[in-house]
Structure 1
Amino acid sequence: MQRIIKAIILIVSFLLVFGGIYYAKVRYFSPGTLAKQKGIEYSNVPTVFIHGYEGNSFSFGPLLRQLERENVAKREMTIVVQEDGKLTVEGKLKNNRDNPTIMVLFAKDVADEITQSRWIDKVMRYLYQQKISRVNLVSHSMGGVSTLRYLLEYADDRTPQTERFVTIAAPFNDLEIAEDTEEIFAYELTEKGPSGETPIYQYFDHAMEKLPPNLQVLDVAGDLKDGTESDGSVSTHSAFALRLLFQKHAKSYQELIVTKKSGGHSAITKSTELKTKLIDFLWKKTA
């Protein structure tokens, strides 16, 4: 019996140590600079990653670590929005033309995108004060809804200009933005737009004319291919609900569907398909 207990303690200790090491690699920064790769356009324009409801370091951390290991983009800053809205900043932008990435974390979850959009605005105004004039924004789930609301309501001449916007599995036409329901809500998306409009969709419909005119958009959805046409939480019909509006008001608009197990709501951000598309959309050299 004692041997079994000792074995269990040993296994648990090993898992804790291994988990701690992995967390440190995901959460914190590594030294050095990138070895520049052919085909990648390097600049000092930061790409800001914003998680959704109940997100954390693991929402985008593994993806950012892969991008750094492949010498595409360098983790340089984490901005934590505290419960009272104050910012805690870790790291520093080094101006090494390493395609810097910034991970935004929310210390407390809020179930409404309005508050989260205001917090995003605080982050953007801080970056502007740090002489950052241009950014790319990558957001997941409710973070996509909040980030778009930020672009429509708060972005101005005292925030960095957003060049590219990536939204991943965002519920743009859902009744509940930050809640999983037993049945996945969906108004069918037709060639003329959604068959029905929720309040959040109606807001975007009326406000989309405020979208930055030179914005390039990549809209990503997941499809488990289990018959639900969803990622297990958000329907593809909802994720792509703003298709016609983006096509009308953005400079360019692209879509990506990540399928099967990789297309799960939380799995998308760790998928090879997304990473490959992000590299192409954000950093690949153009002829």
Structure 2
Amino acid sequence: MKKKHIITITSIGLIILGFAALLYMPNKANSDYDKVRPTLFVHGYKGTINSFGNMLNRFEYDYHWGNKAIVYYVKQNGVVQKYNLSKGKKEPVFIQVVFEDNRASFEVTASWLAKVLEDMKQVYSIESVNIVGHSMGGIVSLEYLKQFQGVNFPTVRKFIAIGSPFDGIYSEEYFKINRDPAAADLHPDSPALQYLRERPFPDHIEVLSIASTGDAIAVPESVHSLRNIVPEAQLQEKVIHNDQLSHSGLHESRKVDHLIYKFLWQDHIQ
């Protein structure tokens, strides 16, 4: 009887331990992504998967900084599709966001970005992220930061805007060619840009803004207007003095690659 009693107690103990292990064991998706904070890459006006495609290939295959793990594709009706590339278990994770309607307004595109981040929180239990946005992708990301912070979304720790014209695009010729909701929002003093300036910026986010003297779309003066939105203590600014480095050339520049690396991962990646 005594031996049977010991076996019973042991069995109960094993059951309790097993149950505890189940409680504290992260699911596969969470264990894949919780090693290093994921970074989202958000393209700009009329952008595609190719906008950040070469940069992410360099990050993964040239520099070995991490893995492109998921592509989120948001359809024109707002439905979110995703392609899990099953990478990123031990290194920084890159997540690319692509909008089928790449000419939608700031407000609409930011709401689509919110759907992506909400999915990341609900499905993968991701608690915090970084965001990198090129051109209008930086503006849309800022709109997201001002509008959608909360328990349903991961906390954003670091934000990088690359060639983002926060004061609008100054060229009148640009708007003779481009006539759509996004173009209307990109016009200087548009209601969308005014609204972007009015609300406070979250005080826990570090920001890097990158500009080029060769950028004829997001000229440095417009890029620097981010100073009127983000407090000085939270903002770093880098201007690349290269008259040959164009607006679209920013995401093809190895100089930009290394500015991103230094800001996001230098303390982590050896």
TM above 0.5, yes or no, is yes
Larger Rg: 2
**1:44-63 alignment, distance < 5 Å:** 44-63=36-55
Which deviations, in whole Å up to 9, do the C-alpha atoms of 1:166-208 show, x marking residues without a partner? 011112111689x9347xxxxxxxxxxxxx955444323320x
Which deviations, in whole Å up to 9, do the C-alpha atoms of 1:102-155 show, x marking residues without a partner? 010111222411111010000010001120101000001111111100110112
- Indicate conservation of the 8 Å contact 1:173/1:201, yes or no: yes
- TM-score, normalised to structure 1, is 0.71
For residues 275 and 67 of structure 1, what CA distance do their matches in structure 2 show?
8
Q: CA RMSD in A?
A: 2.5
Of 212, 215, 220 in structure 1, the residue corresponding to residue 202 of structure 2 is: 212
**1:111-190 alignment, distance < 5 Å:** 111-129=104-122, 130-174=124-168, 180-181=174-175
Q: How far off its partner does 1:278 sit?
A: 0.6
Matched, 1:221 2:184: no
Equivalenced residues, count: 222
- Indicate conservation of the 8 Å contact 1:175/1:198, yes or no: no
For residues 54 and 265 of structure 1, what CA distance do their matches in structure 2 show?
13
Matched, 1:247 2:231: yes
AA aligned to 2:210 is V
Counterpart for residue 202 of structure 1: 194
AA aligned to 2:38 is P
Which deviations, in whole Å up to 9, do the C-alpha atoms of 1:216-259 show, x marking residues without a partner? 000111211xxxxxx121221111102143125xx521111223
- Indicate conservation of the 8 Å contact 1:216/1:252, yes or no: yes
Counterpart for residue 3 of structure 2: none
- Indicate conservation of the 8 Å contact 1:222/1:236, yes or no: yes
AA aligned to 2:205 is L
AA aligned to 1:45 is R
Of 90, 101, 121 in structure 2, the residue corresponding to residue 108 of structure 1 is: 101
Change (3 A) 1:282 1:126: same
Q: How far off its partner does 1:260 sit?
A: 2.6
Counterpart for residue 8 of structure 1: none
- Indicate conservation of the 8 Å contact 1:121/1:155, yes or no: no
- Indicate conservation of the 8 Å contact 1:261/1:267, yes or no: no
Matched, 1:77 2:67: no
Local SS of the residue matching 1:145: helix
Counterpart for residue 88 of structure 1: 81
Percent identity, please: 27
Q: Which runs of 5+ in 1 are unaligned?
A: 1-41, 183-195, 225-230
Counterpart for residue 31 of structure 1: none
AA aligned to 1:214 is H
Q: Which runs of 5+ in 2 are unaligned?
A: 1-33, 177-187
Q: How far off its partner does 1:275 sit?
A: 0.4
Matched, 1:234 2:218: yes
For residues 95 and 58 of structure 1, what CA distance do their matches in structure 2 show?
21
- Indicate conservation of the 8 Å contact 2:38/2:92, yes or no: yes
For residues 85 and 160 of structure 1, what CA distance do their matches in structure 2 show?
20
AA aligned to 1:243 is R
Counterpart for residue 182 of structure 2: none
AA aligned to 2:112 is W
For residues 262 and 135 of structure 1, what CA distance do their matches in structure 2 show?
32
For residues 170 and 100 of structure 2, what CA distance do their matches in structure 1 show?
22
Matched, 1:260 2:238: no
Q: How far off its partner does 1:57 sit?
A: 1.8
